[in-house]
Structure 1
């Protein structure tokens, strides 16, 4: 029995997702998902800003199979802080079909980093969304980035679009590949060619070590899914932004479900419908293969990725 009480209003993940109409290419990777607990086995961090529902490794792997994916990249959730035990357990149970992105602090030892690497961790996440985490001094993050660069890891950054100008120089100075979560959370009610989103496009263009996840339409959309607005195509307002990045940077984009979709307030998405958004943002078989197979394999399983 879980002794943790969920944050009031917390939406549980969609228990009966539809089977997608779109069939992902063989070897496809869900490059952004999480595990939560279970809390009785892997307690949530005392300093957490929310308490989620449980979302186990077994449930994640069952969803992956239902959606037609072969591999996962599991990103450490903020509710677990820098306690990566649930993440490591999921990676070690995956028979090599999952890689991880951890959260670490300055005091992490070299031996601990080596154990994370052996388990399948290939990156660290820096979260700049103020409502989710407390401020971490940038000098500490620079120190961590330098240490993980020696392991061949990358840095994943999560921020809100309005904050990119303030963070630009810091991100530009990181000594690793930088992967941006969810397109930098653009305001999709603003124009695609407007200054906010084009600032992010320019950031990617000027810094070839920067990648982007074209994920989370359910988190970014104003129009919403069909159940909310009656439209036949869900999240239609997000699609042009994601498609633009796929077209402009075909070798530096990733896609993920974001299961189990933490902190959503209005609706919980059907993950099958999220998969069916993919051919709308990557219309060709070549673009789909790059997005779902080639790019994540090159970043997370380089030893198995085919030569370019």
Structure 2
């Protein structure tokens, strides 16, 4: 369950774990997509938008069997902004795709943030998700996911150039490194009790002890008091720390002041097109979205007036 190995390295270096400035690369573009939710075909249509637009080099390329492989060298970072699984028909396929890209890309160039559905694997006794992929994971797979956090393969947040990437975001300011350290601490504690008699009690305690990272809020977990994997976009004010988030469904990428929400795949499941990625450079933020005829449409977003 989501090993997220980092190429030939057992662990992502701490600097590379937390943000693009920690990479040994010359200003790589950051490509992000969120809430793949087991929809492998839609994930493919989103990730191939760059190669199908005349102004962009491809992020991935397909082999003779149609499998996507990393094609961007050290010139790109891919941020999968939470919620790889549940809802769709091919959870294993999405995980396999992301893990393959993580192995093939240079260490630290594929980053995955903790979504509330990865959260549901770790803290399964706190939600009733037995019918979903996340709720059916074994204790061994839960430990494996804890180890992915420890290695830096799964993080709470990632610092881009002008925005911080997190699945749901926070109202108050934060540093990605701090949240990631706290997520590691929680995962190490949880791993020691997975499958033991104190497992459920440990889950409850950790969610309370690490509220900014793991906390459940009001209104089915998404309201006031929610942590970085759970907060609904409606509760993020426009003057919050600049963030790129997923979690809350949108028809197209939406900007509200300093905050951009990129969760578009589920809302476009019944439409032709709509799958999209965001592309951030030091100077710009744009979306590349599928059109109904299979083309790619580019849209620009405002950079925040103040950066983090």
Please state which band the TM-score falls in when normalised by the shorter chain.
0.3 to 0.5
TM-score, structure 1 as length reference: 0.37
Higher strand share: 2
Higher helix share: 1
